[in-house]
Amino acid sequence: MVQCCAEYFLNLLESRKGFLMTNVLSVDNRVLLLCRFAIAAFLAVVSVADAGDGALVVVGGGPIPDQIIDRFVELGGGNGTRLVVIPTASSDNGLPTADSTIQLWSSRGVTHAIQLHTRDRSQADNEDFVNPLRNATAVWISGGQQSRLADAYVGTKVQAELVKLRNRGGVIGGTSAGAAILSGVMIVGGNPVPKIGRGLDLIPGIIVDQHFLRRSRVNRLLEAVGRHPDRMGIGIDESTAIIVQGDRAKVVGDSYVTVITKPDDRPQSMQTLRRDDAIQLPGVTRKSPKKWAIAVHGGAGTVPADASSAEEKAWRDGLQIAMRKAVAIIESGGTSMGAVDATIRILEDNEMFNAGKGAVFNSAGSHELDASVMDGRTLDGGAVAGVSTVRNPIGLARLVMNRTSHVLLSGSGAEQFATEQDVERVKNNYFSTERRRESWNRVRAHEDGAPVSRIRSARPWQYGTVGCVVLDTHGNLAAGTSTGGLTNKKFGRVGDSPILGAGTYADNDTCAVSATGTGEQFIRHAVGAQISLLMRHRRWTLKQSAEYVLKQRLNKGDGGVIAVDRDGNIEWVYTSPGMFRAAADSDGRFDVLIRDEN
């Protein structure tokens, strides 16, 4: 079939020799050979523009196969996708199209979807109007007439926000007119003589055509690239898409994609691609790997003098395993939020740390757990407080963020939400360990059961808490924290770990922070938010900001923070005797420290 298509196109080229004059290659038997082998060489050209870190899902119209739909949702963040649907190409003034499109995506688990529509360019330049795009992880542009999209949005703030969305790792998808508009030089209509207009220019160096084989559009695409010899033509048939990531495009779906190389590249060629074929695109800069940085903590405190070497090894190994997981996720292009979640789960399952299994006892002799996550892209967050049967509270916190319109659920409400979400449950005594019981007994025998933070001789496993902060290769920051709280805390007591702005904070403009120590102090001083605000408003560095808050605002011994800024600088500042901590980054750093060492 691929061969047939190639031959069909070659015949077509031959029949058009006179029409396209110098732009069309001369066709003879050698060209067929060239069509098969030369294209890779032509496509590896010097590039001129930056296509960002996100993805494009460019669909040729017609019924959209599941494979394409699922890939779009996956690239948008799965169940956490925050989708904006742009229905402006349709003739019905948007609403019915947006409704049916939103229904399609919600049947695929995308629960957060809204429409953005106007035909008024001044509205498309309005800050409030474009605001949903700033929080989005995905945009879907539905079909109709591409001129409606161009008239409303080209050259406006909507276009600028779409570029930013892609640069911060989001996905933009479009079908039919929604695919055409992604080109800079855009085919508006006409066949075989195309009418050319201006599109959103999200695929530098490419002219996209759609419904390509079904509507016999080869001639018009040849004509379009003939008039714009610095562009490559990509004709996408119905039920088929290209997924563009960086400088590569991969074919998904049921039919074919036709690639016409730039007339500027001689000899020019045409190639037919099918599912799983990939090409390198022109007009796209191959980006060098981007900076990433990760810090993890296992709580304020240090190795006690009487700790065995086995205990010391267990703390060190625990941090190392968690950090390795985070590094593996980020190095393979995963998100900061995914890394935070996976890393903290590992620490929750490790009884050496005061979170999940191994959490401290409260004054009632049971365990109440707190956790939170925050996404620096959107300032969105999720938290749970006082949960007692959820094996991994960090996962439930993430679900609060992704599947509710709230930020913090507590106690029995959080437990009920866990039931609804079908997350793994355990009996409360799953969290108990002999080590923690011993500390609880010791604390109760001491100072009338005062919470352990006030006891100078507290051992590290009496406070603990775990956390993770990440800058990923897409430039996104995220933070998460999970804890059993303070030994012998009053039942119902909530610390700083599930309070966004106190124990956990992330803002892509500044930094991501996770705290450990006496929670009440971190809440009083809004530690995470305060560090971020000093960076934003005083233009202080992360180090200056964190040191000021920990050393000038809090009391000595209150605890510490790990933090990473948007440039990948990692800091840890603590006034406790020590902090269990680890750091890794794209420059090859990999440190695991459990003593007061550098």
State the helix-helix crossing angle for 393-403 and 411-421, rounded to 10 degrees: 80
- The CA–CA distances, whole Å, from 139 to 3, 49, 105, 131, 165 equal 36, 22, 11, 13, 9
**C-beta closer to ligand GLY: residue 90 or 432:** 432
Please say whether the beta carbons of 389 and 426 come within 8 A.
yes
Q: Which residues bind ligand GLY (CB under 6 A)?
A: 465, 483, 485-486, 495-497, 503, 516-519
**C-beta closer to ligand GLY: residue 258 or 497:** 497
* Nearest distance from C-beta of residue 254 to ligand GLY, angstroms: 53
**C-beta closer to ligand GLY: residue 346 or 527:** 527
CB count within 10 Å of CB 323 equals 23
Q: What is the DSSP string of 77-103?
A: TGGG-EEEEE-TTSTT-SHHHHHHHHH
In the sheet where 293-300 sits, what is the strand order? Answer: 408-410, 380-387, 369-375, 477-483, 466-471, 293-300, 579-585, 590-593
* Nearest distance from C-beta of residue 371 to ligand GLY, angstroms: 11
* Nearest distance from C-beta of residue 197 to ligand GLY, angstroms: 58
Please say whether the beta carbons of 558 and 575 come within 8 A.
yes
Is residue 465 flagged as an active site residue? yes
d(C-alpha 466, C-alpha 360), whole Å: 13
Pairing relation of β-strands 138-141 and 82-86? parallel
**C-beta closer to ligand GLY: residue 69 or 300:** 300
**C-beta closer to ligand GLY: residue 351 or 558:** 558
Partners of residue 505 on adjacent β-strands: 513
* Nearest distance from C-beta of residue 482 to ligand GLY, angstroms: 10
* Nearest distance from C-beta of residue 579 to ligand GLY, angstroms: 12
Helices assigned H by DSSP within 22-124: 29-37, 39-43, 66-76, 95-106, 121-124
d(C-alpha 208, C-alpha 57), whole Å: 12
Tokens representing residue 244 in the block: 């563009």
Task: Name the 3-class secondary structure at 320.
Answer: helix
Please say whether the beta carbons of 546 and 529 come within 8 A.
no
Q: Which residues contact 562 (CB under 8 A, 6 or more apart)?
A: 295, 296, 297, 467, 468, 469, 513, 514, 570, 571, 572, 579, 581, 583
State the helix-helix crossing angle for 336-348 and 393-403, rounded to 10 degrees: 150
**C-beta closer to ligand GLY: residue 146 or 462:** 462
Q: Which of 465, 483, 504, 510 is catalytic?
A: 465
**C-beta closer to ligand GLY: residue 259 or 579:** 579
* Nearest distance from C-beta of residue 485 to ligand GLY, angstroms: 4
Tokens representing residue 151 in the block: 């008239």
Tokens representing residue 241 in the block: 């898409």
Name the amino acid, one letter, at 493.
R
**C-beta closer to ligand GLY: residue 366 or 569:** 366
Task: Name the 3-class secondary structure at 593.
Answer: strand
Please say whether the beta carbons of 344 and 394 come within 8 A.
yes
**C-beta closer to ligand GLY: residue 76 or 519:** 519
Q: Cα 413 vs. chain centroid, distance in angstroms?
A: 28
Q: Which residues contact 461 (CB under 8 A, 6 or more apart)?
A: 301, 352, 353, 354, 358, 360, 435, 436, 439
* Nearest distance from C-beta of residue 522 to ligand GLY, angstroms: 6
- Environment class of residue 537 by beta-carbon count within 10 Å: exposed (0-12), middle (13-18) or buried (19+)? exposed
* Nearest distance from C-beta of residue 453 to ligand GLY, angstroms: 7
* Nearest distance from C-beta of residue 388 to ligand GLY, angstroms: 15
* Nearest distance from C-beta of residue 128 to ligand GLY, angstroms: 38
**C-beta closer to ligand GLY: residue 133 or 512:** 512
d(C-alpha 105, C-alpha 191), whole Å: 32
- Environment class of residue 568 by beta-carbon count within 10 Å: exposed (0-12), middle (13-18) or buried (19+)? middle
Q: Which residues are catalytic?
A: 465
